[in-house]
Chains A and B, each alone.
Chain A
Amino acid sequence: MLDLTYTAPKPKVIQGAKDDWELVIGMEIHAQVSSNAKLFSGASTAVGAEPNSNVSFVDAAMPGMLPVINEFCVEQAVRTGLGLKAAINLRSAFDRKNYFYPDLPQGYQISQLYHPIVGEGEVIVEMGPGVARHVRIERIHLEQDAGKSIHDMDPTQSFVDFNRTGVALMEIVSRPDIRGPEEAAAYVVKLRQILRYLGTCDGNMQNGNLRADVNVSVCRPGQYEKYQATGDFSHLGTRCEIKNMNSMRFIQAAIDYEARRQIAIVEDGGSVTQETRLYDPDKNETRSMRSKEEAHDYRYFPDPDLLPLEIEQAWVDDIAARMPELPDAKKARFMGDFGLTDYDANVLTAELEAASFFEAVALGRDGKQAANWVINELFGRLNKEGLAIGESPVSAGQLGGILDLMQKGEISGKMAKDLFEILWTEGGDPAEVAAAKGMKQVTDMGAIEAAVDAIIAANPDQVEKAKANPKLAGWFVGQVIKASGGKANPAAVNDLVAKKLGM
């Protein structure tokens, strides 16, 4: 297997009015665990249900109700941890985070502050061929999602929908290793890709199934390296947390705005206040939500309704043994086994379904050719139609069949594209359709030779020119193929023309 090694990208530098500044970014990603039931109740997690229809007595925090851990959610968190090459904590525990809000029926969120289920891991975030940031993961913990408050249904009342209450989230906390807005977005893209490969989060950002809290601070060049050497945060600037971002584009814009805001404050001789901020995409600015002083005192303490969560190494090993191939490994394999370029390997591994499609096409065939066809013909056509790979009218088997016909010399590249088009709209078996449509490239050397001779005889001037300038031989090839109705095998024609012209 090809081992991919990377050099670190340069940090983004922003020029302030006076100085150069670097960014230091850490992220907390809230990823909804893919699970049919909630973290501590049997209620459904299905989206789009009538408000308050997926609510158990536990979710509604009725008196005397007790939480019971959903084992599958734990398995998903472990799988995620393994996918991020992280330490799995065989003993973790749940804590209560106490605050009042109508969408939080218990008056506390069950989370894991003191003993998270997953410890330190790593995500490799590629920023170009051979260039990548290693972002360290500090921890992953399981916690409950809140419900949804609705303030715009009535002028005097608010409403609340508990369908989402108690749904399992994984909070994936990174170290402050991200050094620019683009890296931040690329980190989310990569994390999302891994989660989708693992099947532990669907990554749907529109639905809020993946959202990010972004911690941003700025520092003078050289300071970050001091922090890295010592682990001492005092080398870094004061950070602000931008809450609840669910778009790659907004994440970048918000970080850029926030960094410039902080730089302006510091260059003006002020100091940044540690606070929570919200990004307003309409105005492209961040606004203070609450300061450190106004911050809630969450009064975390171990949830007495739940015993510490103890899992066995054998169970973890069993999950590890059933891990799918992850993006980095798949990319390396595609490059090694199929000879793909870095770019093509990235494109083909971005989504698991596309990678699997490609692999089905490439299996036993020319990998590079398969990659070209999947990326250019198939993806191009899918994009044009706005279709997902799973909705492709042409299956991997059909596309493979087209490539086989080409490989055997039965159809030309031009014919293959036509055949692809027919299969896209009408379907069918590639070989049968090609036969029915009379798509067969002529490889009868006698017939081709006759055609070549005829064209040479009819164009003595061109023959002279071509003899002087061999590049013009292509004109004869074209004429022969045209005369054959496009069916003559171009390679055979090429050889014959060269021979006849004495080249």
Chain B
Amino acid sequence: MSKSLNSLTIAEARDGLRKGEFTASELTGACLTAIDGADALGAFVHKTPDIAREQATAADARLAKGDAPDLCGIPLGIKDLFCTKGVPGQAASNILAGFLPEYESTVTSKLFGAGAVMLGKLNMDEFAMGSSNESSCYGPAVNPWRSDDRELTPGGSSGGSASAVAADLCLGATGTDTGGSIRQPAAFTGIVGLKPTYGRVSRWGIVAYASSLDQAGPMAKTVRDTAIFLQAMAGHDAKDSTSADIPVPDFEAALTGDIRGKKIGIPREYRADGMPAEIAALWAKGADMLRDAGAEIVDISLPHTQYALPAYYVIAPAEASSNLARYDGVRYGHRAKLSQGDGITEMYEKTRAEGFGAEVKRRIMIGTYVLSAGFYDAYYNRARKVRALIKRDFDQVFAGGVDAILTPTTPSAAFGLGEMASADPVQMYLNDVFTVTVNLAGLPGISVPVGLDSQGLPLGLQLIGRPWEEAALLNHAYVLEKAAGFVAKPGKWW
């Protein structure tokens, strides 16, 4: 075998493990070695080699018995937003310093139940708020792709997950996506990332950012891996009231590569002013690929698209301002040192001032403002109405027979770390312009690497599917992936 074990895909590893070509312990060992050599990427913020080896041994036993689900023995990275029992988890925030969850999130519990191996916790933007992984209390994760020796962002908020998968530190990683946090980093790092339909994957045990938008999903090297990975994550959970009691189909079996007669919509409103020519060209190329595969390309309109970003940046902070109220220094996490005479108000103020970073504070303040008396109707309620209109836009397009929608994932390739430091925060928010609509409408969306830009950096296209039709969406993505033939890997510099 010419490939090193850690650079295998999940599907390759699954098959190799089942054939006995190598063991889960060997595979895990290869990943642990790769991780130890990749501290410069800042992807893993908490390594769990002991757990990994133990789980790999157990996986080998299951494999030997022939009782091995697809993910048995597959080493994964877990975004720091997922609570994993007995392993520190702090959502990349100082306010959760020292927090040790006594429970296992539904997603990780399903993954480990299927025999997956946990390599450690992955870097992210603080509380999943950000598009560059620079708001992390651990410092930024770094993109394994570089141009001109410039250090680039892997995107955010699931930047550590994207970086780790792209650099072959793990075979797949969990991500979460509230406004694009799986798809944008996937696009920036040349991997596949899928945000499932809202309600497809349980949110229980995942630190909440914006509850009505948050959705966990897989980040992997190929569409097939993404399908296998999603299979293990998805399903109804009685502990999450927003989780849907809908059967989970066989996602991998849906990858037929046949999309003949399918209708792919190209939304004209996504042709944003100032879209770089490279992005526009990639988009057109993607449409051609799908047409060549037998799909019909149709021009569609999603008229309320321009209001999506403002609506998102009202709704998400509103929910966040409430969701993050529990970090008050009373029960767990950071509590500020108090001065003589300080009361409960000082405890709150000092604890939260010290514990939260600038971007989190900004969103808490925005969210508090838009929910406050006198502004609620003008901001929050109006944003909810816009959200309903955006959802209706999609409903109408799908009702018109469109099977999937093709857009760019991001307005640009990965940018340099620190480049946005002095920019208006809105410049950073613009990263989400093509992805937030999907969260607002609760739809499934997937980013597939399709090409490189002139600087040799990966670019992705996004496919948006009908609700609950991840299987069909994955098949469209599979066709796009095959046609694009994206095989480039970042040169190892770390």
Contact = CB atoms under 8 A, between A and B. Distances in A.
A332 B141 CA distance: 76
B277 interface: no
B331 A64 contact: no
Nearest to A305: B211
Interface stretch (B15-23, B319-327, B460-468): B319-327
Contact of B83 (A64, A106, A107, A300): A64
B99 interface: yes
Contacts of A105: 326, 330-331
B225 interface: no
9 contacts: A61-B326, A63-B91, A64-B101, A68-B240, A297-B373, A304-B319, A305-B208, A306-B242, A307-B241
Interface string A276-312: 0000000000000000000001011100111100000
A388 B103 CA distance: 46
A107 B322 contact: yes
A62 to B, nearest CB: 7
B45 interface: no
Contact of A305 (B242, B328, B331): B242
Contacts of A108: 322, 325
Contacts of B229: none
Contacts of A63: 83, 89, 91, 96, 99, 101, 207-208, 326
Q: Interface residues of B: mostly helix, strand, loop or mixed? A: loop
Nearest to B99: A63
Interface in B230-244: 238-242
A102 B242 contact: no
B99 to A, nearest CB: 7
A98 interface: yes
B170 to A, nearest CB: 22
Interface in A16-61: 57, 60-61
Contact of A301 (B103, B240, B322): B322
Interface in B93-144: 96, 99, 101-103, 105
A106 B325 contact: yes
Nearest to B332: A62
Contact of B241 (A62, A101, A299, A305): A305
A301 B326 contact: no
A199 interface: no
B274 to A, nearest CB: 34
Interface residues of A, number: 30
A170 to B, nearest CB: 20
A64 B208 contact: yes
Interface string A99-114: 0111001111000000
Contacts of B44: none
Interface string A67-87: 111000000000000000000
B328 A100 contact: yes
B330 A160 contact: yes
Contacts of B330: 102, 105, 160
Interface string B165-187: 00000000000000000000000
Contact of B325 (A60, A62, A98, A305): A98
A96 interface: yes
A299 B371 contact: yes
A301 B376 contact: yes
Contacts, number: 98
A306 B241 contact: yes
A398 to B, nearest CB: 50
A447 interface: no
A430 to B, nearest CB: 55
B388 interface: no
Interface string B199-228: 000011111101110000000000000000
Interface residues of B, number: 43
Interface string A229-240: 000000000000
A62 B322 contact: no
B368 interface: yes
B313 interface: no
A306 B322 CA distance: 14
B325 A100 contact: yes
Interface string A151-186: 000000010100000000000000000000000000
Contact of B103 (A62, A96, A100, A158): A62
Contacts of B103: 57, 62
B318 interface: yes
A299 B322 contact: yes
Given A62-B101, A64-B82, A299-B321, 20 more contacts: A62-B103, A62-B332, A63-B96, A63-B207, A63-B208, A64-B105, A64-B208, A66-B240, A68-B238, A98-B321, A98-B325, A100-B348, A105-B330, A107-B325, A299-B368, A301-B319, A301-B376, A304-B210, A307-B241, A307-B242
Contacts of B325: 98, 100, 106-108
Given A98-B322, A102-B344, A301-B322, A67 B241 contact: yes
Contact of B204 (A66, A102, A158, A297): A66
A57 to B, nearest CB: 6
A67 B205 CA distance: 12
Contacts of B331: 60-61, 105
